[in-house]
Amino acid sequence: MPTVSSPLLTPHRAEAAGYVGLCVALLSLVAEVLYISFTYDAWSAQGQSADGLVPAMFSLMGWAAKYAVVVAFILLFVYRQHLAAAGRAIAGGLQPARFALFFAAHLAAYACLLAMTALVFPPGDARAGVPGLYYAGWLAAALATGGLWCLVVVRWSQLVDFLAGQWRVLLLALLAAAVVVVFSLASQRGWDLLSGATFSLAASLLHLVNPDLLFLYPEKKLIGLGDFIAEVGPPCSGLEGIGLVTVFVGLYLYLERDSLRFPRALALFPLGAAVIWLLNGVRIAALVAIGHYWSPQVAIGGFHSQAGWITFILVSLGVLWLANNLRFFHRAPRAVAAPLNLPVATLLPLIALLAVTLLDSALVAQFNTWYPLRVLVVAGVLAWVWRPLALFPYRPNPLLLPVAVLVAVLWVALLGSDAQADAAFQSSLDALGPWGGWWLALRIVGTVVTVPIAEELAFRAYLLCRLSGEEVSVRGAVRFSWVAVVVSSLAFGFLHSAWLAGTLAGLCYALLRLRTRHVGDAILCHALTNGLLVVFALATGSWSLL
């Protein structure tokens, strides 16, 4: 696989730049999928009349998307031991000019896809009159978006070689996913098998929440709280989730058959099925509770679209963890895991932060009620990796004080104030009642403590060192490199919605890290900057700055 040949980049820096490009491509893909799935609900199109071949085919796109997700998950599981090597190979082969060209083309195709999606999913009753040409345009834009993203990370010849060499594994994944589709179809016809139990479970959970507002109509499978009522249809029976977990467990047992102890390992089948069915009932109850207490838009949009997949992933990972860590399922004791190394320890907090951010985005519309979850998860990860980080002994450098003030002033000057956003934030905060103070306290802790530590470890301890051609370190001199400073700061800026202010802040923190020779100064400076912004927001009500 070719390597980057830019004269401005040494091989080590080129590899690090390749990793940055790969991360940008992956994060962009995740963000694009989440945005379009939260904004437009394809479920509403499935009941439309399909006049013509293309609209009829489009009515099956929900199944096709579900099938593709299952295939992708199975392939990731099968190749899980080769993902690190594949990532290194892809990162080493990314060429900046080619990456920029295809990534720009991919973003243009995605913009076309958003435009076509708005036409295919118009509001209200206009959906019934969507021309067939719009469906064809949507399909073309979707194929172009996906194909160009693949070409961002690999060459066409590499993709063809992979498909030719791994067709047996791909066929296995396709067949396994087909079993899931069969279970999904069975859930439509076999709804009565689990309907009573699933409906009763969800009703019992909601009875614990608020029995006075509980609405039940078992004959029509209607359930609700107050004025929010949902129909529990056949797809909610739980059979589809049971099918997903059954396929996953079966695939795991086949791949790990040499190390597992049979017939004990077969207990994973009923265990996984029972857990995902129980969580399916919890999901239905949570959807109704969210629709009544928080937002109907969140309930029928983001949560309805993503909660099922989140549940499946959590159950699958849980089953995998149990199977790998309990001696009961293995012929011989498992090897003790090696301790965390410094590069991994510097990345894990930010990875945890991004993961929880994606998760809680399925539960909110505008005001992030679940923000405290980010604080708790990142704090837990930091406690786990604190020892290998070895940040102490540490003595703050006085230079961090003026840098923190400078960044805070730049942030306020560039972002200004958004009266509408500030008022909406204050209104949502007031709506929390007595819990608003606790929420705000944890929001401040996250802004001033956990976020600065997680971000500075990733960008100023890991990425800056890697791009400079140095080993990852939290203390000591790092060779100065404009490429390292600029690229790491741009990556930091793109992580924030205010990308220009974020990039300038990243430049200041990077230069401070190089000057003071300890990442602790960048962390403390970042924390002080955010603390100043918190004080400013509390004094003026400019919550949009946070």
Q: What is the pLDDT of residues 220-254, one digit of tens each?
A: 778 888 888 887 766 666 666 777 777 778 777 87
Q: Please state whether the peptide bond connecting residue 396 to the residue before it is cis, i.e. omega within 30 degrees of 0.
A: no
Confidence at 3, pLDDT banded by 50, 70, 90: very low
- Give pLDDT, residue 72: 75
| Report for 57-61, 155-159, 185-189, 486-490: range of highest mean pLDDT | 486-490
Task: Kindly state the average pLDDT of the residues 43-72.
Answer: 56
- Give pLDDT, residue 361: 65
Q: Which two tokens stand for residue 190?
A: 């076999």
Adjacent-strand bridge partners of 228: 225
473: nearest Cα among 485, 484, 482, 462: 462
Using alpha carbons only, give the angle 186, 189, 195 rounded to the nearest 5 degrees: 100
What is the pTM for the complete model shown? Answer: 0.50
- The answer, yes or no, to whether residue 532 has pLDDT greater than 70, is yes
pLDDT digits (tens, 9 = 90+) for 248-271: 787 778 767 777 888 888 888 888
Burial label for 193, CB within 10 Å (0-12, 13-18, 19+), is middle
**What average pLDDT is seen over the chain?**
78
Confirm if 203 and 196 have CB atoms less than 8 A apart. no
Task: Kindly state the average pLDDT of the residues 384-391.
Answer: 88
The single-letter code of the amino acid at 447 is T
Distance CA 257, CA 128 (A): 51
Which residues contact residue 431 at a Cβ distance below 8 angstroms, ignoring those fewer than 6 apart? none
- The answer, yes or no, to whether residue 137 has pLDDT greater than 50, is yes
- The answer, yes or no, to whether residue 10 has pLDDT greater than 60, is no
What region, left, alpha or beta, does residue 226 occupy, with left being phi > 0 and alpha being psi -120 to 50 degrees?
left
- The answer, yes or no, to whether residue 12 has pLDDT greater than 50, is yes
Residues comprising the chain, all counted: 546
Say which residue, 290 or 474, is predicted with more confidence.
474
Task: Kindly state the average pLDDT of the residues 65-90.
Answer: 72
Say which residue, 126 or 178, is predicted with more confidence.
178
Confirm if 198 and 240 have CB atoms less than 8 A apart. no
Adjacent-strand bridge partners of 222: 217, 231
Say which residue, 426 or 360, is predicted with more confidence.
426
Task: Kindly state the average pLDDT of the residues 439-460.
Answer: 92
For every residue of 108-166, which 3-state class applies, written as one string? HHHHHHHHHHHHHCCCHHHHHHCCHHHHHHHHHHHHHHHHHHHHHHCCHHHHHHHHHHC
pLDDT digits (tens, 9 = 90+) for 399-419: 999 999 999 999 999 888 788
243: nearest Cα among 181, 191, 301: 181
Task: Kindly state the average pLDDT of the residues 133-138.
Answer: 78
Helix (H, G, I), strand (E, B) or coil at 229: strand
Distance CA 209, CA 291 (A): 13
- Give pLDDT, residue 2: 40
The single-letter code of the amino acid at 387 is R
Q: Please state whether the peptide bond connecting residue 235 to the residue before it is cis, i.e. omega within 30 degrees of 0.
A: no
Distance CA 45, CA 121 (A): 8
Handedness of CA 460, 464, 466, 471 (dihedral sign): negative
Whole-angstrom Cα Rg for the chain: 25
Confirm if 546 and 443 have CB atoms less than 8 A apart. yes
Number of C-beta neighbours around residue 378 at 10 A: 24
Task: Kindly state the average pLDDT of the residues 425-454.
Answer: 87
- Residue found by looking up tokens 């904004």 in the block: 39
Number of C-beta neighbours around residue 499 at 10 A: 13
Lowest mean pLDDT among 2-6, 202-206, 256-260, 263-267: 2-6
Task: Kindly state the average pLDDT of the residues 185-200.
Answer: 64
Confidence at 44, pLDDT banded by 50, 70, 90: very low
- Give pLDDT, residue 216: 81
- The answer, yes or no, to whether residue 368 has pLDDT greater than 80, is no
CA torsion, ordered 199, 200, 203, 204, to nearest 10 deg: -150
Find how far residue 249's CA is from the centre of its chain.
23
Which residues contact residue 132 at a Cβ distance below 8 angstroms, ignoring those fewer than 6 apart? 51, 52, 53, 54, 55
- The answer, yes or no, to whether residue 373 has pLDDT greater than 70, is yes
- Give pLDDT, residue 41: 54
Q: Which two tokens stand for residue 91?
A: 């990162």
377: nearest Cα among 353, 407, 411: 353
Task: Kindly state the average pLDDT of the residues 346-360.
Answer: 83
Confidence at 370, pLDDT banded by 50, 70, 90: confident
